[in-house]
A = this chain, B = another copy of it.
Amino acid sequence: MAETIEGHIYKTFDLDLKELKAKLRFQGELVESAIQNAVKALTERRSEIAEKVIKDDDIVNLKEVEIDEFCLKLLALRQPAARDLRFITTAIKINYDLERIGDMAVNICERVLELNQEPQLKPYIDLPKMTDIAQNMVKEALDAFLNEDIKLALKVTRDDEKVDQFLDQIFRELLTFMRQDPGTITRAVRVLFLAKYLERMADHAVDIAELVLFMMEGKIIRHLKPVQEK
């Protein structure tokens, strides 16, 4: 009998973890779509998309609390040991990161609403590419956690360089604009801030990837590489 009960308890906890993963995956999808739509609102100059992202952030916020409460419940009721405990406390931090990435999509939308009221500074070529990379990093960082995939987590930490390169490139290009025509300065700075938000999102993805690596290998990756940000 004891075995059956234990088996039952084990299975239930296993189901709990599955549910936690499903919740995080859904939250990840919400946040990824917020990133894409925020930049789409700029490139297609459709402010209504930006407004929707800002409004939908409420859902991300509520989901964050739901996931947090779910983790607390697992900790309180299941009292997991070692590995599972670390998985859940890592989930708590990743959940916190995802919500912040959602906030940054909102921050981008706020800049977009301002930018869309003025003539377009230039065609956006690099920003959508940078967005795709940042969004993919968020996706892969979360996948690395959900599938406990060290290789994928390492890939995310490497991809950060691409985002930094795009930021550098955008920065230099905008400087040229500003120098040639001071009338573009305000807009250029707004676009620059927007690119910085994308870079911060990528940084959060790296943070998540590093949490995964630490959870799985006990290695403190973030202390091995110098902090780099432009």
Contact = CB atoms under 8 A, between A and B. Distances in A.
Interface of A: 54, 57-58, 61-62, 65, 68, 71-72, 75-76, 79, 81-82, 85-86, 89, 92-93, 96, 100, 103, 106-107, 110, 171, 175, 178-179, 182, 185-186, 189, 192-193, 196, 207, 220, 222-223, 226-227, 229-230
Report the 8 A-B pairs with minimum CB-CB distance, sorted nearest first: A61-B223, A179-B182, A106-B227, A107-B229, A79-B79, A103-B227, A178-B185, A93-B96
A92 to B, nearest CB: 6
A41 to B, nearest CB: 16
Identical copies in the complex: 2
Main secondary structure on A side of the interface with B? helix
Contacts of A107: 227, 229
A177 to B, nearest CB: 10
A207 to B, nearest CB: 8
Nearest to A180: B182
Given A61-B222, A185-B179, A223-B61, A85 B75 contact: yes
9 contacts: A57-B227, A61-B220, A61-B223, A62-B223, A89-B92, A100-B207, A171-B189, A175-B185, A178-B178
Nearest to A76: B85
A57 B100 CA distance: 23
A44 to B, nearest CB: 22
A196 B107 CA distance: 13
Contacts of A65: 220, 223
Contacts of A82: 76
A194 to B, nearest CB: 11
